Chain A
Amino acid sequence: MELIKPGTNYDFLGKSRTVITLSLVLIFAVLALLPFRLNYGVDFAGGTEIEVAFNEAVSAKEVREKIEAAGFAGAGVQQIGDASENAYIVRVERVSILSAEQVEALRETMNQQLTGYGAITVDVDENVGDRIDVRSEQPIPLAELERAASAAGIELAQVGERVRDLTRAGEPTYQLLTQSLSDRVTSTLINAFGADEIDVRRVDYVGPQVGQQLRNRGIMSMLLAMGAVLLYIAFRFDIRFAPGAVLALVHDVAIVLGYWVVTGREFNLTSIAVLLTVIGYSVNDTIVVFDRVREILARKNGKTLAENINTAVNESLSRTVITSGSTGLAMVGLLIFTSGSLFDFAAAMLVGVVAATYSSIYIAGPVAIWVDKKLQESEARKKAAGGHKAKRSAAAHAD
């Protein structure tokens, strides 16, 4: 069986101007929309995400109302899986359980109610969010602290320690421990629907520091991966080929990002895994074509670089299509049987595979030709100006 008949000779490069313009438009469109449309998941944005299933039919509206009644305005509630499963993902974006007003209220209450202990300072670290540091000049009974906290409307932890005495070396220091954000959301749901009615399947809480860190490291790792493969190409092939590979790579990453931009699905850690895999896959595709180019150029058949690249693309076309096809087939199972982040993994990967196939044909080669042409032109100009040194013809060989 043969999908691509031998001796196929499409003129891929003839249309390169239109195709590259189209690709550039796409890339810029995705990059321009990225800041507005990318829906960061809790991994990067921080916050709490809970997956729950109910024993009875419950509407998304009901769930949202209960959550908002507990003070989490703007919570996201999304049904997942079959309607009969009654399963929802509840997402609360706030990362700190304490609002600035609550902290201010506590400060006031403490200084009004707790007199005779000297100046009291109240600190909240926004990056931690579930803990209030209190210092005073004279020791304060723990019960007094608890009372002041509840007077200010702050809910302390339901289990375990509520107030810690960290007094050391004669300086009274205390910590008020509030309920954590994820506990609060979970217990709100359990209280509203009853413990027997609800199955909490999954809880993800990511603090603000971690989200920031993960995001920065994600971007760093993408750049690192791109840098590594480009160095490899420059080293193994020819510097003229590198810009084509770069543009193909940028194109593929942008198109895959386009998956999240268009669908508005959650962008999380698994998405980074997809992007990095696409980087590897894209370069792999480009390299197979360049490898062919190198092989043909070594024959010194007297044709132009453009003709040779076109031949190489045609000769490796069958392989490119078949490998993309088998990678795509491997993803079919994930598309059918999974939901959530794995479904997105497979779908985005498919987009990436198609983009990589396309870019290795329409982008990598034409850009290499264009670079070669520019180099020759500049050499010709130099020749015309100075004109004695015989420069090598850039088109003749690539290795």
Chain B
Amino acid sequence: MERSWYVRLGLVLAVVVTTIYLLIPTVVYFTLPADVRNDKETFEEALPSWAPKKRINLGLDLQGGVHLVLGVDLDKAMKDKVVRRADEIRSFANERSLAVGSIQANRATEVIEVSFASTADADAFRAAADDYFGDMRRVSGGTTSRYAFTSDYVKQFKEGAIDQALRTIRNRIDKWGVSEPTITKRGADGILVQLPGVKDPDKAKDLLGRTAQLEFKIVADSEAPALIDSLGTLPEGFTKGHDGNQPYIQAADLNALEAFVEGKATEGLSFATGKLDTRDVTGVPGAASYRTYVLRSKVEVSGDKLTDARVSLDQSGLGGGRPFVSLSFDPEGARQFEEVTGDNIGKRLAIVLDGNVDSAPVIQSKIAGGNAQITLGNQRNYNQMLEEANELSLVLRSGALPAPVSVFEERTVGASLGPELIRSGSLAVGLGLLLVVLFMGIYYKKAGWVADLALVLNAAIILAVLSTFGATLTLPGIAGFILTLGMAVDANVLIAERMREEVRNGKTAKVAVREGYGKAFTTILDGNLTTLAAGFVLLQYGTGPIRGFAVTLIIGLSASMFTAIVVTRLIKDRMYRGRPGETISV
């Protein structure tokens, strides 16, 4: 055999071995009983340590679960913001003793109209306010000024509102303990939530649609040791820890941790939980772990008193551009905040969102006037600090300005339907594949059986590539899989037909193989590229299940070019070596 043949053999063997290697997790997954295969630990135990971890996931339509597209009502959030800004303008004028007539917010036009008794009043106000409310445009005429948010601000605000809704939803799903949820933005105002295995759509919708509860509570560091000690021996998987201020209990399972401390707080105290920072020095996060916080049960200030929270950079020179979060309260909130900060200097104030402690800064001094700043710890680098500041401002705003969320799309599949669909889908694929294989073998004889070998390898490659992506197998994906295999034989058909022609023209077997592959090549390429183009458009368009179909089609057709051209050629070059009297079976 020629040297190039051995090179090609090596390439094909490498592809075959890699394909088998990549398929291991998927095979292990599907051989486990259906009720335990989604349990991460069981799966990892069954998997050899040297095997890859990624596998094909079953789509929601096959294993049951809830698929929701939630819409964030950005317009309404924007209108709320306008109303609130009118209030801020009012207190701004009061604080600086600027004389204003009336301040009216118009929800429909999103414009705030401020009127003055005289042009002198108007000029004084404009001079002071223009700089302070730099995110608004002003149109003035005589004794009235109209303020509207700049388009930059509106854009930024809406993006912020989506992020904040996303954040709240992620928080809750984390707390709920759903395994492998998908939570992503979709389009300009949508959030896609997929909860595999969840059978109760009502609970999901209720949980996700609720407005976030933000509370400020004092951390009970001095009472904590006694309370933690009183809990006695801890269940397995729970450990004790100390953050320098108070002892805590740590566990990987948030639900178990919450259940354990439930109702165990003494009078005047309460338990809350928080995510432990498991990042190492390089900032790489470790496995998720949760801790308890002992707080005073009294809600010092509730989140709806907060009017805004934003990230600013310390420009004083001393701070070196360090990011911090600034917050503003409405008049009632300002009063409460002044009181709690005045009474608790040196203690920590926990920021609790939906029962989850996000941050607990130390109160440095009494804060009056309704504007506070939260600076971040020193230990981190700049990017980490900025990220943390952004996260914190998102948390604070979720409590301050919740953008209403509603259900745009809901698809729930009960647990009973999935197994039935998998069964009929597998039968359909099996029968389809069998028919194609028999047909090719009978029609093209040996060349057909070789093509069948390529077809089976093609099927394995599709599954292996889907595994490495951790792709999701959906019902349309199954249809796409079998359709792709039916279409993938096209390359083999083209080659076989060409070889038949060459044989008819009296060529020897070896020449027929060479000419057949050579002439079919451009046709295969042209034909497949156009179908692939349609596949990529589908991928762009597709949502959920349809994407699965498109991905399968694209991988299958690409792989078919390899299997039909390289793999079958390799075998035929070996079969027909130009010996005298050789006849080709096609």
Residues of A within 8 A of B (CB): 1-3, 6, 51, 53, 125, 128, 130-131, 133, 157-161, 164, 166-171, 173, 175, 177, 180, 182-183, 199-207, 209-210, 213-214, 217-218, 220-221, 224-225, 228-229, 232-233, 236, 269-270, 272-273, 276-277, 279-281, 283-284, 287-288, 291-292, 295, 315-316, 318-319, 322-323, 325-334, 336-338, 341-342, 345-346, 349
Contact = CB atoms under 8 A, between A and B. Distances in A.
Contact of A318 (B490, B497, B538): B497
A270 B474 CA distance: 11
Nearest to B85: A169
A82 to B, nearest CB: 12
Given A280-B532, A331-B486, A334-B428, A342 B479 contact: yes
B202 A183 contact: yes
B424 A337 contact: yes
Interface in B547-586: 549-550, 553
B449 to A, nearest CB: 13
18 contacts: A6-B501, A160-B210, A175-B404, A180-B410, A224-B537, A225-B538, A236-B526, A270-B479, A273-B538, A273-B549, A276-B537, A284-B490, A287-B530, A323-B490, A327-B486, A327-B487, A330-B435, A338-B425
A160, A214, A217, A316 pick with most chain B CB within 10 angstroms: A160
A225 B439 contact: no
B256 interface: no
Interface residues of B, number: 94
B196 interface: no
B11 interface: no
A171 B527 CA distance: 64
Contacts of A133: 76
Contacts of B489: 323, 326
A339 to B, nearest CB: 8
B157 to A, nearest CB: 15
Nearest to A279: B534
A341 B475 contact: yes
Given A159-B203, A167-B304, A330-B483, A273 B476 contact: yes
Given A336-B431, A341-B475, A130 B407 contact: yes
A377 B82 CA distance: 69
Interface string B476-515: 1011101101110110011001001100100000000000
B523 interface: yes
B476 A333 contact: no
B435 A333 contact: yes
B483 A164 contact: no
B210 A161 contact: yes
Interface in B437-486: 439-440, 442-443, 445, 475-476, 478-480, 482-483, 485-486
Given A128-B71, A170-B87, A333-B430, A180 B436 contact: no
A33 B549 CA distance: 29
Given A218-B541, A233-B530, A323-B494, 16 more contacts: A167-B304, A169-B330, A170-B87, A200-B414, A206-B409, A225-B537, A225-B538, A232-B529, A232-B530, A232-B533, A269-B545, A281-B531, A284-B528, A284-B531, A326-B490, A334-B432
B401 interface: yes
Interface string B202-233: 11011101110000000000000000000000
A368 to B, nearest CB: 16
Interface in B401-418: 401-402, 404, 406-414, 416-417
B534 A209 contact: no
A203 B483 contact: no
Contact of B84 (A3, A169, A277, A288): A169
Contact of A1 (B408, B442, B479): B442
A336 B360 CA distance: 62
A161 B206 CA distance: 7
B541 A168 contact: no
A337 B427 contact: yes
Contacts of B442: 1
A199, A287, A292 pick with most chain B CB within 10 angstroms: A287
A326 B431 contact: no
Contacts of A1: 442-443, 445
A283 B433 CA distance: 24
A221 B540 contact: yes
B410 A204 contact: yes
Contacts of B207: 160
B546 interface: yes
A248 B87 CA distance: 65
A199 B414 contact: yes
Nearest to A236: B526
Contact of B407 (A207, A229, A281, A283): A207
Minimum-distance CB pairs A-B, first 7: A330-B486, A160-B206, A280-B534, A333-B431, A280-B531, A333-B428, A221-B541
A284 B430 contact: no
Contacts of B76: 133
B83 interface: yes
Given A169-B87, A334-B432, A209 B408 contact: yes
B497 A201 contact: no
A210 B417 contact: no
A273 B443 contact: no
B216 to A, nearest CB: 17
B429 interface: yes
Given A168-B401, A346-B479, A225 B546 contact: no
A210 B409 contact: yes
A122 to B, nearest CB: 14
Contacts of B410: 180, 182, 203-205
A159 B538 CA distance: 39
Contact of B494 (A182, A288, A345): A288
Given A160-B210, A207-B407, A281 B487 contact: yes
Contacts of B330: 169-170
B69 interface: yes
Contacts of B433: 330, 333
A201 to B, nearest CB: 4
Nearest to B86: A169
Contact of A201 (B86, B416, B425, B540): B416
A131 B406 contact: yes
Contacts of B541: 217-218, 220-221, 272, 276
B437 to A, nearest CB: 10
Contacts of A233: 530
Given A277-B553, A326-B439, A329-B436, A169 B307 contact: yes
B413, B478, B490, B501 pick with most chain A CB within 10 angstroms: B490
Given A169-B330, A232-B529, A332-B432, A276 B534 contact: yes
B535 interface: yes
A328 B504 CA distance: 28
B406 A130 contact: yes
B522 interface: yes
Nearest to A328: B486
Given A218-B541, A228-B534, A273 B480 contact: yes
Contacts of B407: 130, 180, 205, 207
B84 A168 contact: yes
Contact of A342 (B87, B402, B475, B497): B475
B123 interface: no
Contacts of B86: 169
B135 interface: no
Contacts of A346: 479
A233 B433 CA distance: 32
B358 interface: no
Nearest to B187: A213
A220, A272, A276 pick with most chain B CB within 10 angstroms: A276
B71 to A, nearest CB: 7
Contacts of B203: 159
Contacts of B4: none
Given A169-B87, A327-B483, A210 B431 contact: no
A183 B209 CA distance: 15
Nearest to A291: B523
